A and B are shown apart, each in its own frame.
Chain A
Protein backbone atom coordinates (compact mmCIF):
# COMPACT_ATOMS: atom_id res chain seq x y z
CA UNK A 1 0.00 0.00 0.00
CA UNK A 2 0.97 3.61 -0.23
CA UNK A 3 2.52 5.47 2.70
CA UNK A 4 -0.45 7.80 2.49
CA UNK A 5 -2.65 5.07 4.05
CA UNK A 6 -0.64 4.96 7.27
CA UNK A 7 1.17 8.26 7.57
CA UNK A 8 0.98 12.02 7.00
CA UNK A 9 3.63 14.52 6.09
CA UNK A 10 4.56 18.20 5.74
CA UNK A 11 7.44 19.87 3.92
CA UNK A 12 9.49 22.76 5.23
CA UNK A 13 12.27 24.79 3.62
CA UNK A 14 15.42 26.62 4.63
CA UNK A 15 17.65 27.95 1.88
CA UNK A 16 18.33 25.14 -0.59
CA UNK A 17 17.40 22.48 1.99
CA UNK A 18 13.98 20.83 2.09
CA UNK A 19 12.80 18.78 5.05
CA UNK A 20 9.92 16.33 4.92
CA UNK A 21 8.33 14.85 8.00
CA UNK A 22 6.71 11.43 7.91
CA UNK A 23 4.35 10.78 10.82
CA UNK A 24 2.41 7.55 11.37
CA UNK A 25 -1.25 7.71 12.35
CA UNK A 26 -0.83 4.62 14.57
CA UNK A 27 2.31 4.07 16.62
CA UNK A 28 2.26 0.34 15.65
CA UNK A 29 3.34 1.33 12.13
CA UNK A 30 6.43 3.25 13.25
CA UNK A 31 8.83 0.31 13.05
CA UNK A 32 7.60 -0.44 9.52
CA UNK A 33 8.38 3.01 8.19
CA UNK A 34 11.67 3.03 10.09
CA UNK A 35 12.70 -0.22 8.38
CA UNK A 36 11.44 0.56 4.92
CA UNK A 37 11.63 4.31 4.39
CA UNK A 38 15.38 4.75 4.56
CA UNK A 39 17.35 7.86 3.67
CA UNK A 40 18.71 5.95 0.66
CA UNK A 41 15.22 5.11 -0.58
CA UNK A 42 14.04 8.70 -0.19
CA UNK A 43 17.11 9.95 -2.06
CA UNK A 44 16.27 7.51 -4.89
CA UNK A 45 12.59 8.56 -4.87
CA UNK A 46 13.46 12.23 -5.29
CA UNK A 47 16.59 11.81 -7.41
CA UNK A 48 15.26 13.96 -10.24
CA UNK A 49 14.67 16.86 -7.84
CA UNK A 50 17.13 16.44 -4.94
CA UNK A 51 20.75 16.91 -5.99
CA UNK A 52 22.40 16.54 -2.58
CA UNK A 53 22.46 14.13 0.32
CA UNK A 54 19.43 13.00 2.30
CA UNK A 55 19.68 12.62 6.10
CA UNK A 56 17.10 10.93 8.29
CA UNK A 57 16.27 11.75 11.90
CA UNK A 58 14.12 9.51 14.11
CA UNK A 59 11.61 10.86 16.64
CA UNK A 60 10.09 7.64 18.01
CA UNK A 61 8.06 9.29 20.77
CA UNK A 62 5.75 10.91 18.22
CA UNK A 63 6.10 8.17 15.61
CA UNK A 64 7.92 10.35 13.13
CA UNK A 65 10.88 10.46 10.79
CA UNK A 66 12.35 13.69 9.45
CA UNK A 67 14.16 13.70 6.11
CA UNK A 68 16.55 16.55 5.45
CA UNK A 69 17.28 16.85 1.75
CA UNK A 70 20.19 19.00 0.60
CA UNK A 71 20.28 20.87 -2.74
CA UNK A 72 16.59 20.17 -3.11
CA UNK A 73 15.16 23.57 -4.02
CA UNK A 74 16.89 24.63 -7.22
CA UNK A 75 19.36 26.86 -5.39
CA UNK A 76 16.90 28.01 -2.75
CA UNK A 77 13.59 29.80 -2.46
CA UNK A 78 14.99 33.15 -3.57
CA UNK A 79 16.55 31.91 -6.82
CA UNK A 80 14.70 28.73 -7.77
CA UNK A 81 13.25 28.60 -11.29
CA UNK A 82 10.51 26.18 -10.16
CA UNK A 83 6.85 27.11 -9.77
CA UNK A 84 6.89 25.57 -6.29
CA UNK A 85 9.97 27.44 -5.08
CA UNK A 86 9.49 26.23 -1.49
CA UNK A 87 9.09 22.59 -2.54
CA UNK A 88 5.92 22.47 -0.47
CA UNK A 89 4.33 19.88 -2.75
CA UNK A 90 7.10 17.34 -2.05
CA UNK A 91 5.32 15.92 1.02
CA UNK A 92 2.48 14.58 -1.14
CA UNK A 93 5.04 12.91 -3.41
CA UNK A 94 6.67 11.08 -0.49
CA UNK A 95 3.27 9.71 0.57
CA UNK A 96 2.94 8.02 -2.84
CA UNK A 97 5.81 5.66 -1.97
CA UNK A 98 4.81 2.00 -1.52
CA UNK A 99 5.19 0.26 1.84
CA UNK A 100 4.60 -3.34 2.92
CA UNK A 101 2.61 -3.87 6.11
Chain B
Protein backbone atom coordinates (compact mmCIF):
# COMPACT_ATOMS: atom_id res chain seq x y z
CA UNK B 1 0.00 0.00 0.00
CA UNK B 2 1.17 3.51 -0.80
CA UNK B 3 2.24 5.61 2.13
CA UNK B 4 3.23 9.23 2.52
CA UNK B 5 5.77 10.41 5.04
CA UNK B 6 5.06 13.62 6.93
CA UNK B 7 7.57 15.09 9.36
CA UNK B 8 7.23 17.78 11.99
CA UNK B 9 9.99 20.40 11.82
CA UNK B 10 8.98 22.57 14.78
CA UNK B 11 6.63 22.19 17.71
CA UNK B 12 6.64 25.83 18.79
CA UNK B 13 7.89 29.21 17.62
CA UNK B 14 11.34 28.99 19.18
CA UNK B 15 12.04 25.33 18.46
CA UNK B 16 15.40 23.91 17.28
CA UNK B 17 16.25 23.79 13.56
CA UNK B 18 18.81 20.93 13.47
CA UNK B 19 16.20 18.16 13.87
CA UNK B 20 14.22 19.61 10.95
CA UNK B 21 17.33 19.63 8.76
CA UNK B 22 18.00 16.04 9.83
CA UNK B 23 14.42 15.06 8.93
CA UNK B 24 14.61 16.56 5.45
CA UNK B 25 18.06 15.08 4.81
CA UNK B 26 17.46 11.56 6.11
CA UNK B 27 13.71 11.17 6.72
CA UNK B 28 12.69 10.26 3.17
CA UNK B 29 9.83 12.73 3.60
CA UNK B 30 7.10 13.94 1.28
CA UNK B 31 6.05 16.77 3.57
CA UNK B 32 7.39 18.66 6.55
CA UNK B 33 5.20 20.94 8.65
CA UNK B 34 6.37 23.59 11.10
CA UNK B 35 3.92 24.54 13.86
CA UNK B 36 5.09 27.89 15.17
CA UNK B 37 2.06 29.91 16.21
CA UNK B 38 1.01 29.99 19.86
CA UNK B 39 -2.29 31.51 20.86
CA UNK B 40 -1.05 34.98 21.68
CA UNK B 41 1.85 35.17 19.20
CA UNK B 42 -0.39 36.38 16.40
CA UNK B 43 -1.60 39.36 18.45
CA UNK B 44 1.98 40.51 18.91
CA UNK B 45 2.64 39.90 15.21
CA UNK B 46 -0.36 42.09 14.34
CA UNK B 47 1.30 44.89 16.30
CA UNK B 48 4.44 44.44 14.20
CA UNK B 49 2.37 44.57 11.02
CA UNK B 50 0.73 47.83 12.13
CA UNK B 51 4.18 49.38 12.46
CA UNK B 52 5.38 47.96 9.13
CA UNK B 53 2.93 46.41 6.61
CA UNK B 54 5.71 44.13 5.33
CA UNK B 55 6.25 42.56 8.75
CA UNK B 56 4.14 40.54 11.14
CA UNK B 57 5.32 37.06 10.19
CA UNK B 58 7.36 34.72 12.39
CA UNK B 59 10.69 36.28 13.40
CA UNK B 60 12.56 33.06 12.65
CA UNK B 61 10.97 32.54 9.21
CA UNK B 62 13.94 33.82 7.24
CA UNK B 63 16.56 32.00 9.33
CA UNK B 64 14.59 28.75 9.16
CA UNK B 65 13.99 28.99 5.42
CA UNK B 66 17.67 29.73 4.75
CA UNK B 67 18.53 26.46 6.48
CA UNK B 68 15.87 24.23 4.98
CA UNK B 69 14.80 25.63 1.61
CA UNK B 70 17.77 24.49 -0.52
CA UNK B 71 17.53 21.04 1.03
CA UNK B 72 13.75 20.64 0.77
CA UNK B 73 13.97 21.84 -2.86
CA UNK B 74 16.66 19.28 -3.64
CA UNK B 75 14.80 16.44 -1.92
CA UNK B 76 11.35 17.39 -3.22
CA UNK B 77 9.90 17.81 0.26
CA UNK B 78 6.94 20.15 0.47
CA UNK B 79 6.92 22.60 3.37
CA UNK B 80 3.78 23.64 5.24
CA UNK B 81 3.88 26.18 8.06
CA UNK B 82 1.84 28.71 10.00
CA UNK B 83 4.87 31.00 10.22
CA UNK B 84 2.88 33.56 8.21
CA UNK B 85 1.37 34.61 11.57
CA UNK B 86 -0.30 38.00 10.99
CA UNK B 87 1.04 38.40 7.45
CA UNK B 88 1.19 35.25 5.29
CA UNK B 89 1.39 37.31 2.04
CA UNK B 90 4.52 39.13 3.19
CA UNK B 91 5.97 35.83 4.40
CA UNK B 92 5.37 34.23 0.99
CA UNK B 93 7.10 37.18 -0.73
CA UNK B 94 10.03 36.83 1.63
CA UNK B 95 10.37 33.14 0.77
CA UNK B 96 10.11 33.96 -2.93
CA UNK B 97 12.88 36.55 -2.69
CA UNK B 98 14.99 34.18 -0.66
CA UNK B 99 14.50 31.38 -3.22
CA UNK B 100 15.51 33.77 -6.01
CA UNK B 101 18.59 34.84 -4.06
CA UNK B 102 19.63 31.23 -3.50
CA UNK B 103 18.96 30.47 -7.15
CA UNK B 104 16.11 27.97 -6.82
CA UNK B 105 14.08 27.73 -10.03
CA UNK B 106 10.43 26.72 -10.42
CA UNK B 107 9.49 26.99 -6.77
CA UNK B 108 5.86 27.79 -6.04
CA UNK B 109 4.89 29.41 -2.74
CA UNK B 110 1.32 29.79 -1.52
CA UNK B 111 -0.11 32.05 1.16
CA UNK B 112 -3.39 31.02 2.78
CA UNK B 113 -5.47 34.07 3.72
CA UNK B 114 -8.81 34.59 5.40
CA UNK B 115 -8.10 34.00 9.07
CA UNK B 116 -7.82 37.73 9.82
CA UNK B 117 -11.31 39.00 10.73
CA UNK B 118 -10.17 42.19 12.47
CA UNK B 119 -12.05 44.42 10.01
CA UNK B 120 -15.33 42.67 10.91
CA UNK B 121 -14.83 42.84 14.66
CA UNK B 122 -17.76 45.27 15.09
CA UNK B 123 -20.10 42.41 14.09
CA UNK B 124 -18.94 40.27 17.00
CA UNK B 125 -18.95 42.63 19.97
CA UNK B 126 -22.06 41.02 21.46
CA UNK B 127 -20.56 37.51 21.37
CA UNK B 128 -19.81 35.80 24.66
CA UNK B 129 -16.14 35.36 25.54
CA UNK B 130 -15.23 31.78 26.44
CA UNK B 131 -12.69 32.77 29.10
CA UNK B 132 -14.66 35.43 30.97
CA UNK B 133 -18.32 34.66 30.25
CA UNK B 134 -18.99 38.33 29.50
CA UNK B 135 -19.45 39.83 26.05
CA UNK B 136 -16.57 40.92 23.85
CA UNK B 137 -17.48 44.61 24.09
CA UNK B 138 -16.98 44.47 27.87
CA UNK B 139 -13.24 43.80 27.57
CA UNK B 140 -11.61 46.85 29.06
CA UNK B 141 -8.57 47.11 26.78
CA UNK B 142 -8.36 47.91 23.04
CA UNK B 143 -8.76 45.00 20.66
CA UNK B 144 -5.58 44.65 18.60
CA UNK B 145 -6.18 41.47 16.60
CA UNK B 146 -8.85 38.96 15.60
CA UNK B 147 -7.97 35.71 13.89
CA UNK B 148 -10.13 32.69 13.28
CA UNK B 149 -8.82 29.13 13.31
CA UNK B 150 -9.04 27.82 9.74
CA UNK B 151 -9.12 24.14 8.82
CA UNK B 152 -7.48 22.23 5.99
CA UNK B 153 -9.34 23.83 3.07
CA UNK B 154 -6.85 26.58 2.22
CA UNK B 155 -3.81 24.33 2.53
CA UNK B 156 -5.44 21.66 0.34
CA UNK B 157 -6.21 24.35 -2.29
CA UNK B 158 -2.61 25.51 -2.16
CA UNK B 159 -1.35 21.96 -2.70
CA UNK B 160 -3.85 21.47 -5.56
CA UNK B 161 -2.41 24.64 -7.06
CA UNK B 162 1.03 23.06 -7.06
CA UNK B 163 2.56 24.80 -4.07
CA UNK B 164 5.93 23.57 -2.81
CA UNK B 165 5.76 25.85 0.23
CA UNK B 166 2.47 26.67 1.95
CA UNK B 167 2.40 29.53 4.43
CA UNK B 168 -0.63 30.17 6.62
CA UNK B 169 -1.66 32.42 9.44
CA UNK B 170 -3.96 31.00 12.11
CA UNK B 171 -5.01 27.43 11.33
CA UNK B 172 -5.78 24.57 13.68
CA UNK B 173 -2.46 22.87 14.46
CA UNK B 174 -3.46 19.35 13.28
CA UNK B 175 -4.70 20.84 9.97
CA UNK B 176 -1.07 21.48 8.94
CA UNK B 177 -0.66 17.68 8.87
CA UNK B 178 -4.18 16.56 7.92
CA UNK B 179 -4.22 18.71 4.77
CA UNK B 180 -1.52 16.75 2.88
CA UNK B 181 -3.25 13.46 3.81
CA UNK B 182 -6.55 14.69 2.37
CA UNK B 183 -4.79 16.10 -0.69
CA UNK B 184 -2.71 12.99 -1.40
CA UNK B 185 -5.46 10.43 -0.86
CA UNK B 186 -8.47 12.46 -1.92
CA UNK B 187 -10.23 11.69 1.35
CA UNK B 188 -13.87 12.73 1.44
CA UNK B 189 -14.00 15.77 3.75
CA UNK B 190 -17.24 14.40 5.18
CA UNK B 191 -15.70 11.04 6.06
CA UNK B 192 -15.36 12.08 9.67
CA UNK B 193 -13.83 8.82 10.88
CA UNK B 194 -10.94 9.27 8.44
CA UNK B 195 -10.60 12.95 9.34
CA UNK B 196 -10.66 12.00 13.03
CA UNK B 197 -7.84 9.51 12.48
CA UNK B 198 -5.88 12.06 10.40
CA UNK B 199 -6.40 14.67 13.11
CA UNK B 200 -5.10 12.17 15.66
CA UNK B 201 -1.93 11.74 13.60
CA UNK B 202 -1.59 15.51 13.28
CA UNK B 203 -2.09 15.97 17.01
CA UNK B 204 0.62 13.38 17.74
CA UNK B 205 3.04 15.21 15.41
CA UNK B 206 2.26 18.85 16.12
CA UNK B 207 4.47 19.30 19.19
CA UNK B 208 7.48 17.79 17.42
CA UNK B 209 9.76 16.10 19.99
CA UNK B 210 6.97 15.66 22.50
CA UNK B 211 6.16 12.33 20.82
CA UNK B 212 9.77 11.25 20.28
CA UNK B 213 10.91 11.41 23.90
CA UNK B 214 11.08 15.16 24.47
CA UNK B 215 9.28 16.33 27.59
CA UNK B 216 9.08 12.68 28.71
CA UNK B 217 12.30 11.74 30.53
CA UNK B 218 12.18 10.89 34.23
CA UNK B 219 15.48 9.24 35.15
CA UNK B 220 14.92 5.84 36.74
CA UNK B 221 11.30 5.71 35.59
CA UNK B 222 11.18 6.79 31.97
CA UNK B 223 14.71 6.85 30.61
CA UNK B 224 15.21 8.43 27.20
CA UNK B 225 18.42 7.81 25.21
CA UNK B 226 20.41 10.77 23.86
CA UNK B 227 17.82 13.37 24.71
CA UNK B 228 20.33 16.10 23.84
CA UNK B 229 19.95 15.20 20.15
CA UNK B 230 16.31 14.18 20.21
CA UNK B 231 14.93 13.59 16.72
CA UNK B 232 11.62 15.02 15.51
CA UNK B 233 8.77 12.71 14.44
CA UNK B 234 7.70 11.23 11.14
CA UNK B 235 4.29 9.73 10.42
CA UNK B 236 4.01 7.12 7.67
CA UNK B 237 0.38 7.48 6.71
CA UNK B 238 -1.49 4.91 4.64
CA UNK B 239 -4.54 5.52 2.48
CA UNK B 240 -6.91 3.92 5.01
CA UNK B 241 -5.61 6.27 7.72
CA UNK B 242 -3.45 3.75 9.56
CA UNK B 243 -0.14 5.31 10.52
CA UNK B 244 3.22 4.54 12.04
CA UNK B 245 4.95 7.15 14.19
CA UNK B 246 8.71 6.95 13.92
CA UNK B 247 11.87 9.08 13.65
CA UNK B 248 15.17 9.18 11.80
CA UNK B 249 17.39 6.23 12.67
CA UNK B 250 20.32 7.29 14.85
CA UNK B 251 18.61 10.39 16.19
CA UNK B 252 18.13 10.70 19.94
CA UNK B 253 14.94 10.07 21.85
CA UNK B 254 12.43 7.24 21.52
CA UNK B 255 8.99 6.55 20.08
CA UNK B 256 7.01 4.17 22.28
CA UNK B 257 3.35 3.62 23.14
CA UNK B 258 4.03 5.59 26.35
CA UNK B 259 5.37 8.68 24.54
CA UNK B 260 2.38 8.48 22.20
CA UNK B 261 -0.12 8.21 25.07
CA UNK B 262 1.25 11.31 26.80
CA UNK B 263 1.05 13.29 23.59
CA UNK B 264 -2.43 11.93 22.78
CA UNK B 265 -3.85 13.60 25.91
CA UNK B 266 -1.71 16.75 25.73
CA UNK B 267 -3.93 19.84 25.71
CA UNK B 268 -7.03 17.68 25.28
CA UNK B 269 -10.16 18.09 27.35
CA UNK B 270 -12.89 15.55 26.53
CA UNK B 271 -11.05 12.86 24.54
CA UNK B 272 -14.34 11.93 22.85
CA UNK B 273 -14.77 15.47 21.55
CA UNK B 274 -11.56 17.08 20.33
CA UNK B 275 -12.95 19.95 18.31
CA UNK B 276 -11.14 21.28 15.25
CA UNK B 277 -12.57 23.22 12.28
CA UNK B 278 -12.51 20.01 10.20
CA UNK B 279 -13.92 17.40 12.55
CA UNK B 280 -14.98 16.68 16.11
CA UNK B 281 -12.49 13.92 16.69
CA UNK B 282 -12.93 11.01 19.11
CA UNK B 283 -9.73 9.54 20.59
CA UNK B 284 -11.34 7.13 23.08
CA UNK B 285 -10.72 4.01 20.98
CA UNK B 286 -7.17 4.81 19.95
CA UNK B 287 -4.72 1.90 20.06
CA UNK B 288 -0.91 2.17 20.05
CA UNK B 289 1.01 -0.91 19.00
CA UNK B 290 4.79 -1.21 19.12
CA UNK B 291 5.69 -2.89 15.81
CA UNK B 292 9.44 -2.26 15.90
CA UNK B 293 12.14 -0.19 17.55
CA UNK B 294 10.89 3.41 17.54
CA UNK B 295 7.92 2.38 15.41
CA UNK B 296 4.44 2.69 16.87
CA UNK B 297 1.35 1.88 14.85
CA UNK B 298 -1.60 4.19 15.52
CA UNK B 299 -5.19 3.22 14.80
CA UNK B 300 -8.66 3.89 16.17
CA UNK B 301 -9.11 7.64 15.72
CA UNK B 302 -12.70 8.49 14.83
CA UNK B 303 -14.92 11.51 14.38
CA UNK B 304 -18.52 12.57 14.20
CA UNK B 305 -19.07 15.86 12.38
CA UNK B 306 -17.57 19.30 12.07
CA UNK B 307 -18.61 22.25 14.21
CA UNK B 308 -21.01 24.93 12.93
CA UNK B 309 -18.89 27.68 14.42
CA UNK B 310 -15.18 28.45 14.29
CA UNK B 311 -13.08 29.63 17.19
CA UNK B 312 -11.58 33.10 16.87
CA UNK B 313 -8.79 34.46 19.06
CA UNK B 314 -9.22 38.13 19.90
CA UNK B 315 -6.06 39.85 21.13
CA UNK B 316 -6.57 42.83 23.44
CA UNK B 317 -4.49 45.15 25.58
CA UNK B 318 -5.16 43.70 28.98
CA UNK B 319 -2.88 45.01 31.72
CA UNK B 320 0.71 45.56 32.84
CA UNK B 321 2.78 43.21 34.96
CA UNK B 322 5.57 44.61 37.13
CA UNK B 323 8.02 42.08 38.50
CA UNK B 324 11.03 42.22 40.79
CA UNK B 325 13.40 39.66 42.31
CA UNK B 326 16.12 39.69 44.96
CA UNK B 327 18.07 36.90 46.71
CA UNK B 328 18.89 36.25 50.38
CA UNK B 329 21.50 33.71 51.52
CA UNK B 330 22.83 31.95 54.62
CA UNK B 331 20.99 30.75 57.69
CA UNK B 332 17.90 32.86 58.24
CA UNK B 333 17.57 33.49 54.51
CA UNK B 334 13.96 32.36 54.53
CA UNK B 335 13.05 34.78 57.33
CA UNK B 336 14.78 37.67 55.63
CA UNK B 337 13.07 36.89 52.30
CA UNK B 338 9.68 36.70 54.02
CA UNK B 339 10.34 40.02 55.76
CA UNK B 340 11.34 41.53 52.42
CA UNK B 341 8.08 40.31 50.85
CA UNK B 342 6.08 41.87 53.69
CA UNK B 343 7.94 45.15 53.24
CA UNK B 344 7.04 45.29 49.54
CA UNK B 345 3.37 44.61 50.29
CA UNK B 346 3.24 47.32 52.97
CA UNK B 347 5.09 49.81 50.76
CA UNK B 348 2.59 49.31 47.92
CA UNK B 349 -0.26 49.93 50.39
CA UNK B 350 1.44 53.00 51.80
CA UNK B 351 2.00 54.42 48.33
CA UNK B 352 -1.61 53.54 47.43
CA UNK B 353 -0.54 51.76 44.26
CA UNK B 354 -3.71 50.28 42.70
CA UNK B 355 -2.61 46.65 42.35
CA UNK B 356 -5.23 44.28 40.91
CA UNK B 357 -3.40 41.11 41.90
CA UNK B 358 -0.10 40.45 43.66
CA UNK B 359 1.95 37.29 43.96
CA UNK B 360 4.93 36.70 46.25
CA UNK B 361 7.16 33.65 45.56
CA UNK B 362 10.12 32.22 47.48
CA UNK B 363 12.56 30.39 45.17
CA UNK B 364 15.99 28.76 45.40
CA UNK B 365 18.60 25.98 45.69
CA UNK B 366 22.21 26.78 44.88
CA UNK B 367 22.60 29.97 42.87
CA UNK B 368 24.43 32.01 45.54
CA UNK B 369 27.06 29.79 47.18
CA UNK B 370 27.33 26.67 45.02
CA UNK B 371 26.85 23.23 46.55
CA UNK B 372 29.78 23.00 49.03
CA UNK B 373 29.04 25.98 51.28
CA UNK B 374 25.38 25.25 50.78
CA UNK B 375 25.69 21.81 52.31
CA UNK B 376 27.91 23.09 55.15
CA UNK B 377 25.51 25.82 56.19
CA UNK B 378 22.24 23.99 55.63
CA UNK B 379 22.99 21.50 58.41
CA UNK B 380 19.49 21.10 59.73
CA UNK B 381 18.36 19.86 56.34
CA UNK B 382 15.17 21.91 56.44
CA UNK B 383 16.02 25.58 56.09
CA UNK B 384 17.05 26.58 52.58
CA UNK B 385 20.52 28.11 52.25
CA UNK B 386 19.18 30.65 49.82
CA UNK B 387 15.84 32.11 48.97
CA UNK B 388 15.04 34.33 46.03
CA UNK B 389 12.10 36.62 46.58
CA UNK B 390 9.95 37.26 43.54
CA UNK B 391 7.09 39.73 43.56
CA UNK B 392 4.81 40.09 40.54
CA UNK B 393 1.79 42.35 40.34
CA UNK B 394 -0.86 43.27 37.82
CA UNK B 395 -1.92 46.87 37.22
CA UNK B 396 -3.89 48.74 34.60
CA UNK B 397 -1.29 51.52 34.20
CA UNK B 398 2.36 51.13 33.30
CA UNK B 399 3.58 53.59 35.94
CA UNK B 400 2.03 51.48 38.68
CA UNK B 401 3.71 48.32 37.40
CA UNK B 402 7.01 50.21 37.44
CA UNK B 403 6.42 51.01 41.12
CA UNK B 404 6.02 47.32 41.99
CA UNK B 405 9.29 46.43 40.27
CA UNK B 406 11.09 49.37 41.89
CA UNK B 407 9.89 48.48 45.39
CA UNK B 408 11.70 45.16 45.12
CA UNK B 409 14.88 46.87 43.90
CA UNK B 410 14.84 49.43 46.73
CA UNK B 411 15.20 46.53 49.18
CA UNK B 412 18.91 46.80 48.37
CA UNK B 413 19.34 49.75 50.70
CA UNK B 414 16.06 49.65 52.61
CA UNK B 415 15.37 45.97 53.21
CA UNK B 416 16.74 43.05 55.27
CA UNK B 417 20.48 42.23 55.43
CA UNK B 418 22.54 41.06 52.46
CA UNK B 419 19.95 41.05 49.71
CA UNK B 420 21.68 40.56 46.36
CA UNK B 421 21.11 40.26 42.65
CA UNK B 422 17.99 42.36 42.28
CA UNK B 423 16.28 42.30 38.90
CA UNK B 424 13.15 43.96 37.60
CA UNK B 425 10.93 44.13 34.55
CA UNK B 426 7.69 45.68 33.37
CA UNK B 427 5.64 44.17 30.55
CA UNK B 428 2.51 45.13 28.70
CA UNK B 429 0.23 42.11 28.51
CA UNK B 430 -1.74 41.34 25.35
CA UNK B 431 -4.31 38.73 26.30
CA UNK B 432 -6.57 36.48 24.26
CA UNK B 433 -10.33 36.22 24.37
CA UNK B 434 -11.97 33.38 22.45
CA UNK B 435 -15.31 33.69 20.68
CA UNK B 436 -17.11 31.39 18.24
CA UNK B 437 -18.22 32.88 14.92
CA UNK B 438 -20.36 31.41 12.13
CA UNK B 439 -18.33 29.32 9.69
CA UNK B 440 -19.92 31.04 6.67
CA UNK B 441 -18.49 34.42 7.73
CA UNK B 442 -14.99 33.30 6.81
CA UNK B 443 -13.75 33.93 3.28
CA UNK B 444 -10.72 31.92 2.30
CA UNK B 445 -8.20 32.98 -0.29
CA UNK B 446 -4.98 31.44 -1.56
CA UNK B 447 -2.38 33.52 -3.41
CA UNK B 448 0.70 32.17 -5.19
CA UNK B 449 4.22 33.47 -5.71
CA UNK B 450 6.65 31.83 -8.14
CA UNK B 451 10.32 31.96 -8.96
Partner of A64, one of B261, B270, B361: B261
Check if A15 sits within 8 Å of B131, measured CB to CB.
yes
Among residues of A, the one whose C-beta sits closest to the C-beta of B265 is A21
Nearest-neighbour CB distance to chain A for B428, whole angstroms, equals 11
B262 CB contact (under 8 Å) in A10, A15, A16, A83: A10
Q: Tell me the complex Cα distance, A19–B274, Å.
A: 13
Instruction: Point out the residue from B264, B321, B429, B432 that lies within 8 Å of A62, measured CB to CB.
Output: B264
**B262/A76 in contact, CB under 8 A:** no
Q: Chain A interface residue count: which class?
A: 20 to 34
In angstroms, Cα B431 to Cα A64, docked, is: 32
> Nearest chain-B residue to A12 (Cβ)?
B267
How distant is A14 from chain B, measured CB to nearest CB, in Å? 6
Known: A78-B430, A81-B393. A61 touches B287 (CB 8 A): yes
Pick from A23, A63, A66, A83: contact of B271, CB under 8 Å: A66
Please tell me if the beta carbons of B431 and A76 are within 8 angstroms of each other in the complex: yes
Whether the Cβ atoms of A13 and B363 lie closer than 8 Å is no
Q: How far is the CA of A77 from the CA of B131 in the complex (A)?
A: 12
Is B441 among interface residues, defined by CB-CB distance under 8 A? no
**B130 in contact (CB, < 8 A):** yes
Distance, CA A57 to CA B319, complexed state (A): 35
* Known contacts A10-B262, A81-B321; A61/B267 CB under 8 A: no
**CB < 8 Å neighbour of B39 from A4, A12, A75, A77:** A77
Asked whether any CB of chain B lies closer than 8 Å to the CB of A17, the reply is yes
Q: Which residues of chain B are near A10, meaning CB under 8 Å? A: 215-216, 262-263, 265-266
User: Does A34 sit within 8 A of B, measured CB to CB?
Assistant: no
How far does the alpha carbon of A41 sit from the alpha carbon of B400 in the complex, in Å? 40
Tell yes or no: B286 within 8 A of A by CB.
yes
> Could you tell me which B residues sit within 8 Å of A by CB distance?
39-40, 130-131, 215-216, 218, 221-222, 257-258, 261-272, 283-288, 300, 318-319, 321, 357-359, 361, 363, 390, 392-394, 429-432, 434
